[in-house]
Chains A and B, each alone.
Chain A
Amino acid sequence: MRATVLVRPKPGILDPQGQAVESSLRHLGFEVADARVGRLVDVELTTDDRDEAQAQLERMCEQLLTNPLIESYEIAFGAGA
């Protein structure tokens, strides 16, 4: 089963990468109010059980894929590469 984990800096956390992207987009002439940069992790799990996969992915996020102090995550199934 394939899943995609989206990791974002939590609201209120300074995101200098996002600021740099936002300012560069403006430089290109785009009208942008804000941009935030996160991370995407595609995971291929061996289980076909959706609930089991969800539980495993949540544990992955808590133990490694995110730092809960500064990042939030979102799990999507069937998306990604």
Chain B
Amino acid sequence: MTERPRIPVVVFPGSNDDRDAAQALEGLGADAPLVWHTDDALPPGTTAVVLPGGFSYGDYLRCGAIARLSPIMREVAAFAAEGGLVLGICNGFQILTEAGLLPGALRANASLSFVCRDVPLVVGSVDTPFTMRCESGQSLTIPVKHGDGCWFADSELLAELEHDGQIMLRYGAGTNPNGSIGDVAGVTNANRNVFGLMPHPEHAVDPLLGSTDGALLLGSLVDAARLSVGSLV
């Protein structure tokens, strides 16, 4: 179990949390190379992919709407379709919803203010590659920093996602920073191999940063990626 699972981090023009994500993943035991958005293939041996936070293409048109057309996104979509693990953080979450890989849409915060602060989060299902290290109902403290984090789904879609256990992360009661429907902070796809969240786990992996709860989520991904390396052999 000493193998370092390869988890590339995609860099789009305007990404700014790519190095933070790679450093956090490396610290948790992964090999996390940076991959440029025009690359037409994921590195050999890729076991999971991370789309980092930032402001790809200046958030023009809609957040994530341009980045999802990048050449690398065809590879990410194909990887996800085969069951590959994909994590989108903040702008990465926006890109995944725009790409149709995750349900719902992300819109301007209800307050129209940029929010940057630690928020309490409640973990839903722990039976996923992204939450294996958590306990069901566990409260995590992880920072958000976004202007467009108001996740939206109509009531039918929200009911369906709740029924299927796809709402994996919610803001603690009364602390919703952006007006998202159902206090949703993070959702998975139906197969639970693609996960997107607005909070930044890569900014909560060291006591110096005020919290290490982000390591529970990223560490789950590293564990899951390591298991998938084993299954490939």
Q: Inside 8 A of A20's CB, which chain B residues have their CB?
A: 112
Q: Return the contact of A69 from the options B69, B105, B108, B111 (Cβ within 8 A).
A: B105
Q: Do B61 and A64 have beta carbons less than 8 Å apart?
A: yes
CA distance A17 to B110 in the complex (A): 9
Closest Cβ neighbor of A9 among chain B residues: B107
B121-159 Cβ-contact flags toward A at 8 Å (1 or 0): 000000000000000000000000000001011100000
What interface size band does chain A fall in? 10 to 19
Known: A13-B152, A67-B62. 20 other contacts (CB 8 A): A14-B107, A14-B150, A16-B108, A16-B110, A16-B111, A16-B112, A17-B108, A17-B112, A20-B112, A64-B61, A64-B65, A64-B69, A65-B61, A67-B65, A67-B105, A69-B105, A69-B152, A69-B154, A70-B105, A70-B107
Q: Return the contact of B110 from the options A14, A65, A67, A70 (Cβ within 8 A).
A: A14
Residue picked from A14, A20, A65, most chain B C-beta under 10 Å: A14
CA distance A16 to B152 in the complex (A): 13
Main DSSP-derived SS at the B contact region = loop
Q: Do B105 and A16 have beta carbons less than 8 Å apart?
A: no
User: For the complex, is B179 an interface residue (Cβ under 8 Å from A)?
Assistant: yes
B49-72 Cβ-contact flags toward A at 8 Å (1 or 0): 000000000000110010001000
Closest Cβ neighbor of A69 among chain B residues: B105
What is the distance, in angstroms, from A25's C-beta to the closest C-beta of chain B? Answer: 16
Within 8 A of B (CB), among A34-73: 64-65, 67, 69-70
How many positions in chain B have a CB within 8 Å of any CB in the partner chain? 18
Among all A-B residue pairs, the 3 with the closest Cβ atoms: A69-B105, A70-B105, A16-B112
User: For the complex, is B196 an interface residue (Cβ under 8 Å from A)?
Assistant: no
What is the distance, in angstroms, from A27's C-beta to the closest C-beta of chain B? Answer: 15
Give 15 A-B contacts (CB < 8 Å), ordered by A residue. Answer: A14-B107, A14-B152, A16-B109, A16-B110, A16-B111, A17-B108, A17-B112, A64-B61, A64-B69, A65-B61, A67-B62, A67-B98, A69-B105, A69-B153, A70-B152
Q: Inside 8 A of A14's CB, which chain B residues have their CB?
A: 107, 110, 150, 152, 179
What is the distance, in angstroms, from A76's C-beta to the closest C-beta of chain B? Answer: 19
User: For the complex, is B201 an interface residue (Cβ under 8 Å from A)?
Assistant: no
Closest Cβ neighbor of B181 among chain A residues: A14
Q: Inside 8 A of A70's CB, which chain B residues have their CB?
A: 105, 107, 152
Q: Inside 8 A of B65's CB, which chain A residues have their CB?
A: 64, 67
B64-92 Cβ-contact flags toward A at 8 Å (1 or 0): 01000100000000000000000000000
